[in-house]
Amino acid sequence: MFLLGQQLGKYQILKTLGSGGFGTVYLVRDTWIDKKLAIKVPHKQNGEFDELLREPRLLAALDHENIVSIVTAEKADDYFFIVMEFVEGESLEARIQKTKGIELPIAIGFARQVATAVSYAHRQGVLHRDLRPGNILVTPEGKVKITDFGTSRFLEVADRASTIIGSPPYMAPEQFQGRAVFASDVYSIGVIMYEMMTGVLPYFSANPRQLEKMALSGRLTRPRERNRAIPVEIEEIILKALAPMVSDRYQQAGELLDDLGTVSEIDRRGSHLEEIRQRLRAREKSTSRFCWNCRKPLHARSTSCPFCSEAQ
């Protein structure tokens, strides 16, 4: 643990940004060029040097606007650490907790950015294995940045990752057995979408084994039962991403992203229809009101049609 103002090589420690199972992240100032950066100091410092280089090498293979970029890896004062860009903002986890869920259009936008980044990583053969709101940063402008690839690995040789790694509430059923595949990341995105749009997790238990049983059962409260504003199409995407069986799920993030794009088209058409409805309402004479949908007469103060139930 480094103290405020302490120096690590040319980097001055400004504050602790967070700590996880694999390392601690600090906000630092590069004293040579006077620039703020983030450094990640692994807890395990006595491992093989190639193992320490695994995460920075993997990050170096990823160049995407929605993934935190690496600057370099260094060793100073007998400490190995990774130097990364510093992202202003807050974690998606903090955002969800603060607002008890996220407004639907914003949540869909965040989901698309996450899926875009994960789809890119999958095309590079990279499986994240620990996607969760705490590992997703959101800038003040609303840009999403995925971080913490310390648990990731390449899947270009092996067809699956065999180590049990992840955060239980966001882990796919097969991850509990050490059989993570690209569809496991998709499952995590499904959990994140569910949580953003409803404010709660689809399954929760303090016992990881109980969570595994819940995820395998597939018995969850449908998202629209918790939030009726969620479009049916979005609910279908979430439920497909959360399918207990890998074969029933999106196989890669790109497939989920394609469906999110289709829903965006539906939303645009829906907005266009609403504009037409508003124009039709504006044409109605105040002396005689009719339902814009079924054209039947309405009471002067009716807010919905008693015949077809459409809002007026």
Q: Contact, 200 vs 226, CB < 8 A?
A: yes
Left, alpha or beta for 295 (phi > 0: left; psi -120 to 50: alpha)? left
DSSP string, 105-160: HHHHHHHHHHHHHHHHHHHTTEE-S---GGGEEE-TT--EEE---TT-EE-SSSSS
Of the candidates 234, 213, 210, which has an alpha carbon nearest to the alpha carbon of residue 222? 234
Q: Contact, 156 vs 128, CB < 8 A?
A: no
Tokens encoding 10: 């040319």
Q: Is 50 a catalytic residue?
A: no
CA distance 142 to 114: 12
Catalytic residue among 34, 63, 130, 248: 130
| Number of neighbouring beta carbons within 10 Å of residue 259 | 17
Tokens encoding 260: 């999110």
Residue with tokens 């084994």: 209
Tokens encoding 215: 């995820």
Of the candidates 255, 206, 201, which has an alpha carbon nearest to the alpha carbon of residue 223? 201
CA distance 182 to 153: 11
CA distance 305 to 312: 7
Of the candidates 202, 208, 245, 240, which has an alpha carbon nearest to the alpha carbon of residue 223? 202
Q: Contact, 169 vs 242, CB < 8 A?
A: no
Annotated catalytic residues are 130
